[in-house]
Amino acid sequence: MKTTILNLALAATLASAQPHNHGHGRFHQKRVGASPVENVAKRGDVVTTVVAATETAYVMGDKVVTPEEAKAGIDKGLFIVVGESTPTFVPPPPPSPTPTTEKKIMAQFFQKPEPTTTSTPTPEPTPTSSTPPPPAKSSSSGSSGSGGSGLHADFPDGELPCEWESLEKYGAVSVPWAGIKGFTAVQKVPTFKAGMKIANIITAIKGEGCEDDSFCSYACPAGYVKTQWPVEQGLTGQSVGGLHCLNGKLYMTQPEKKTLCEENAGFVTIKNSLSKGVATCRTDYPGTENMIVPTWADGGATAMLANIKSADYYTWEGKDTTLQYYINPSGVAVEDACVWTSPTNPDSAGNWAPTNLGVGQSRDGNTYLSIFPNAPTSFAKLDFNIRITGDVTEKCVLENGVYYTNGKETKDGCTTAYKEGANVVVEYY
């Protein structure tokens, strides 16, 4: 029976001796059965979650914890997941877009130079004319924060208060359903010291906001990615993202990046040929890694998916990273889809969305796109089809719940690639 090992910690201090299983896949992989936004730590004890094909066993040290006790701890914000689950999907390699390429190009969403199978998480991209997802249960567009200097304006380092309104004036997009006053996540770091890995990370829960001694993460308009995260990351592999709140003011954590959001490697177009809208949710990475960053495409409309140059974005322990999206059933609003546990579709949206999409531009200049089942987390079936079209190396399709590469059925998903500057569309139909 297939198992996935997860490390959970009881909230407040993540001890250096605590075990850590951070097996990064080609895409930014989700954790199974625990919410990163609501999981926080209190002591250095370690909880290990063993996920089998159809059951989950929880162990704290040598003690078995019942599912009810584990769920209660998660619901109360007592647990934090350390790192990511071991990946369960490795897509088949697409042929190189350039026939004369000497090296065989793997279907990568991780650093290519080394032949090892160690891969990485996911970064975040950005477009220029996309429509941000709706903030409520409607298909209207959200605000892109035009009340201040705008998306392309330099953020005033260390001048503005630790409030959401400070970010909104510079293009960030509010995520009110997270319950953290517009932010996607707030990671409290009371023992933070510059130049040292962060041993104590406490994730804010609903009702709290950005406060002193915290890193405050945020969403950007569809197609754009955030630019800010500290050089200092978690002691045991946790990712940390956002601006630093110190003495009541917000400070840039990547000061060489002057704006809060950027396009990075450009974007991929979503074409929604359905009658209903679709929420495609990206993980907040680096950060709590919750699938909370929204892209909404109305029925009959298009939207932008961010793409990143993996070598120039966030690295996890020296490894390149990529972006991962969760594709939700049609008609599920962003605040019910871009969350860990969906209040309306708990078995088929959010962390349990049927399908994942990975995207990232490799060091070879090619962007790799993959669609694959959200296994072993979800048993749901997407209520529409997906095809990737344009100047791509492979015909990658999900039709009636079955994945195909060039017309041949592939159980674990499909991968394709394209050169920089190519026109590529991910169509929902």
Which tens digits make up the pLDDT trace of 369-417? 999 999 999 999 999 999 999 999 999 999 999 999 999 999 899 999 9
CB 284 within 8 A of CB 351: no
Domain boundaries, the chain: 4-82, 267-428
How does DSSP assign 274-326, residue by residue?
Answer: SSS-EEEEE--TTTT--S-EEEEE-TT-EEEEEB-BGGGS-EETTEE--EEEE
Q: Is 66 exposed, middle or buried (0-12, 13-18, 19+ CB in 10 A)?
A: exposed
CB 10 within 8 A of CB 42: yes
CB 232 within 8 A of CB 195: yes
pLDDT at position 112 is: 26
Dist CA 57 CA 68 (whole Å):
11
Q: CB neighbours of 387 closer than 8 A, spacing ≥ 6?
A: 395, 396, 397, 398, 399, 426, 427, 429
pLDDT at position 65 is: 66
Mark residue 223 as left, alpha or beta (left: phi above 0; alpha: psi -120 to 50; beta: remaining).
Answer: left
Q: CB neighbours of 156 closer than 8 A, spacing ≥ 6?
A: none
Dist CA 358 CA 285 (whole Å):
13
Dist CA 274 CA 21 (whole Å):
40
Q: Is 174 exposed, middle or buried (0-12, 13-18, 19+ CB in 10 A)?
A: buried
The DSSP bridge partners found for residue 321 are none
CATH topology of domain 267-428: Thaumatin (2.60.110)
Given a cut of 70, the residues of the chain with pLDDT beneath it are: 1-62, 65, 67-68, 70-148
**pTM, two decimal places:** 0.73
Q: CB neighbours of 263 closer than 8 A, spacing ≥ 6?
A: 125, 126, 127, 128, 223, 224, 306
Mark residue 407 as left, alpha or beta (left: phi above 0; alpha: psi -120 to 50; beta: remaining).
Answer: left
